[in-house]
A and B are shown apart, each in its own frame.
Chain A
């Protein structure tokens, strides 16, 4: 079911403060790195590799951009049931829980809105006439699911991109921690990250960036173990008649959520949990803080 690139992909190792080495690579369309403490450069590179391979595996399996991915096969079903493996079924079941938790805001079928919304910084805001027909193709409950198959109605699309990255972080960390529980590592895939344990001398120092005022972080979080995920709309928006349309779209209306924070950072024990909470909080717009207050995770909203 999975496909693996036959060409070995590069991993670059760069030194970081406090005797840490960062193994860097590209996966899922973003820069990824695995920080390894208490190891020399060669050991860091070797230790980090299974994490990169896991990221590439998940990318190949769940990318909607790849014709040979599981997601592409599901979306090509055109209403027919497509058999899925256990891992895919678990991710979709998790998406169902997210849909439920968010009151329909977190919806893996909302990707079709991209046909109307192109967040390129221009003023091309779509008209209601462009958006209205798309809403007929959105709605997680319209997916027909069983334990080992899924049918996506014609015209609808499933996109697991919003979950795959955080899921990959948790998977990669589990693999590294099982191989060498004694080696402190921090897995960071495109800003969503998780650490197994702190380096010998001090906690991990994680800068939370405010994309509008690069390059200095607006906050530094000390992380001993656990996950941090950040969601935001800083980069992607449309601007028309002085109104800013952020890229956080409400799948129920097809229009951007009002009052969304610039970014939401959540600390939780797993990356998928942190990522889910930060994404839903962003979708809650003005109600982000109120939503987060209902969970035990620590969070920071930047407005």
Chain B
């Protein structure tokens, strides 16, 4: 009996050998070069009421040098125009402003640079531009009731960065990187390093990262003296800013379907933290503004920020969900929360769709003022930058991804952003009926192409 059974085993083994042994794996080069990965995207962003238009092109390249080493590079080109609010509030009267490159509110003054517009205008000759610059003579007017926006703003940014990552041991990874970004009025250089250590059979990863950044601000027309009167054009030279970041991260496999990540980052920015183009309206006790009564903003010289971030990726079989929460507090007393949800639903051969929802809210900086009263002492800090105001934002979007070739993907993303801020509850008579913080609506269209060879 045993002999027969042994014979069966031998028969099976021979049959398997006949099937698999003869049909060995196809011949492949022993050292297939690791393919280079390209990831490119084109993004168009437009705010309602022809505020900001932004066209951005980005290319990411990642070249593995070995299984545990790779370098990566990134180039980003960005063309913005349309400008953001200059900080002044709407008025019942027409308001007149000078572009930052101007030195006077009066266009007939001899020193007006008639062909240069706002920040970055000087660099724009011959390059691609979305901008249909409506500002003539370095002066722009804003109709009664409208939020003052410097339409002349237009800038081109180029940002390049490179990184290198390598395994120090089977459980330890080191990353090093550098980045440089240049705009007409701003340049930024940064260096970063990170180390990641795996524990518990790669189920847990602890990471530590540092980033040091130095910025130069060459405001168009000079850097305004904080608190100086807008029409006096007290402007100085370039300014500097430094940013230090420390990031501590924990990534944990919770179970076979759930990956969680927690990050805490501490950031300290110091130096020139003002926006050189932002002003604050001064009104009298009744809320009436006088022509040209604006002062340049003044922000603290340091900002300490703490960010807590919790990200979850959950495999739901029919989809992969990504849910994250970001909570930020800083020494300017801005608190913000972001809830972000992505749901990637595979459509088989047709690719995938990914609905996206994001909710955001922030409180105002403690020195944020929609306006100041004339005669109040010009000391302390003040800014009317709407980005420092209290507001909420909602983003709703949909992405579609289509596989291309072996490992490529073409994707299209469409998003709609609505930002809602609230005007102060009590305003002087002269400001009543004005929407000091109009809602902002923006549309985003992005096309992406990823491939490798």
How far apart are A275's CB and chain B's nearest CB, in angstroms? 10
Interface bits B233-261 vs A (CB < 8 Å: 1, else 0): 00000000000000000000101110100
Complex: A273 Cα to B14 Cα, angstroms: 10
**Which of B15, B22, B313: most chain A Cβ within 10 A?**
B15
Known: A10-B349, A277-B12, A296-B9. A91 touches B19 (CB 8 A): yes
Complex: A37 Cα to B403 Cα, angstroms: 24
Cross-chain contact A19 with B201 (CB below 8 angstroms)? yes
Confirm or deny: B203 has a beta carbon within 8 angstroms of a beta carbon on chain A: yes
On chain A, the residues within 8 Å of B111 by CB distance are none
Confirm or deny: A221 has a beta carbon within 8 angstroms of a beta carbon on chain B: no
Confirm or deny: B32 has a beta carbon within 8 angstroms of a beta carbon on chain A: yes
On chain A, the residues within 8 Å of B110 by CB distance are none
Cross-chain contact A15 with B313 (CB below 8 angstroms)? yes
On chain A, the residues within 8 Å of B64 by CB distance are 43
Cross-chain contact B202 with A90 (CB below 8 angstroms)? no
Cross-chain contact B253 with A17 (CB below 8 angstroms)? yes
How far apart are A302's CB and chain B's nearest CB, in angstroms? 22
Complex: A128 Cα to B14 Cα, angstroms: 38
On chain A, the residues within 8 Å of B35 by CB distance are 46
Complex: A182 Cα to B348 Cα, angstroms: 31
On chain B, the residues within 8 Å of A272 by CB distance are 16, 19-20
Confirm or deny: B425 has a beta carbon within 8 angstroms of a beta carbon on chain A: no
The B interface, classified by DSSP as helix, strand, loop or mixed, is: mixed
Confirm or deny: B380 has a beta carbon within 8 angstroms of a beta carbon on chain A: no
Cross-chain contact B18 with A93 (CB below 8 angstroms)? yes
Interface bits A187-215 vs B (CB < 8 Å: 1, else 0): 00000000000011110000000000000
On chain B, the residues within 8 Å of A179 by CB distance are 28, 32
Confirm or deny: B429 has a beta carbon within 8 angstroms of a beta carbon on chain A: no
**B interface residues, tally (CB under 8 Å):** 51
Confirm or deny: B13 has a beta carbon within 8 angstroms of a beta carbon on chain A: yes
Confirm or deny: A16 has a beta carbon within 8 angstroms of a beta carbon on chain B: yes
Confirm or deny: B132 has a beta carbon within 8 angstroms of a beta carbon on chain A: no
Cross-chain contact B19 with A90 (CB below 8 angstroms)? yes
Q: Which residues of B from 411 to 427 have beta carbons under 8 Å from A?
A: none
Q: Count how many pairs of residues, one from A and one from B, have CB atoms less than 8 Å apart in the complex.
A: 131
Confirm or deny: A132 has a beta carbon within 8 angstroms of a beta carbon on chain B: no
Complex: A39 Cα to B167 Cα, angstroms: 11
On chain A, the residues within 8 Å of B15 by CB distance are 93-94, 97-98, 101, 276
Cross-chain contact A273 with B16 (CB below 8 angstroms)? yes
Confirm or deny: A18 has a beta carbon within 8 angstroms of a beta carbon on chain B: yes
Confirm or deny: B228 has a beta carbon within 8 angstroms of a beta carbon on chain A: no
Q: How large is the interface on A (under 10, 10 to 19, 20 to 34, 35 or more residues)?
A: 35 or more
Closest residue on chain B to residue A178 by CB atoms? B25
Known: A9-B403, A178-B28, A179-B32. A15 touches B9 (CB 8 A): no
Q: Which of B16, B255, B349 has a CB less than 8 Å from the CB of A17?
A: B255
Closest residue on chain B to residue A199 by CB atoms? B201
Q: Which of A10, A178, A270, A296 has a CB less than 8 Å from the CB of B16?
A: A270
* Stretch from A138-146, A169-177, A228-236 forming part of the interface with B: A169-177
How far apart are B390's CB and chain A's nearest CB, in angstroms? 38
Complex: A15 Cα to B312 Cα, angstroms: 12
Q: Which of B22, B34, B259, B452 has a CB less than 8 Å from the CB of A90?
A: B22
On chain B, the residues within 8 Å of A1 by CB distance are none
Cross-chain contact B16 with A46 (CB below 8 angstroms)? no
Cross-chain contact B20 with A101 (CB below 8 angstroms)? no
Cross-chain contact B351 with A294 (CB below 8 angstroms)? no
Q: Which residues of A from 1 to 55 have beta carbons under 8 Å from B?
A: 5, 7-10, 12, 14-20, 26, 37-39, 42-43, 45-46, 49
On chain A, the residues within 8 Å of B198 by CB distance are 19
Q: Which of B14, B201, B404 has a CB less than 8 Å from the CB of A202?
A: B201
Cross-chain contact A14 with B320 (CB below 8 angstroms)? yes
**Which of B5, B23, B25: most chain A Cβ within 10 A?**
B25
Complex: A39 Cα to B170 Cα, angstroms: 11
Cross-chain contact A295 with B9 (CB below 8 angstroms)? yes
How far apart are B168's CB and chain A's nearest CB, in angstroms? 15
**Which of B5, B202, B259: most chain A Cβ within 10 A?**
B202
On chain B, the residues within 8 Å of A167 by CB distance are 19-20
| 22 examples of A-B residue contacts, CB within 8 angstroms | A8-B408, A10-B346, A10-B351, A15-B253, A15-B315, A17-B203, A18-B253, A26-B348, A46-B34, A46-B452, A86-B23, A87-B23, A90-B19, A101-B12, A101-B15, A171-B20, A174-B25, A178-B28, A183-B67, A273-B12, A294-B9, A295-B5
* 9 other A-B residue contacts (CB within 8 Å) besides A16-B256, A97-B14, A177-B25: A10-B348, A100-B11, A171-B23, A178-B25, A183-B67, A270-B16, A293-B5, A294-B4, A296-B9
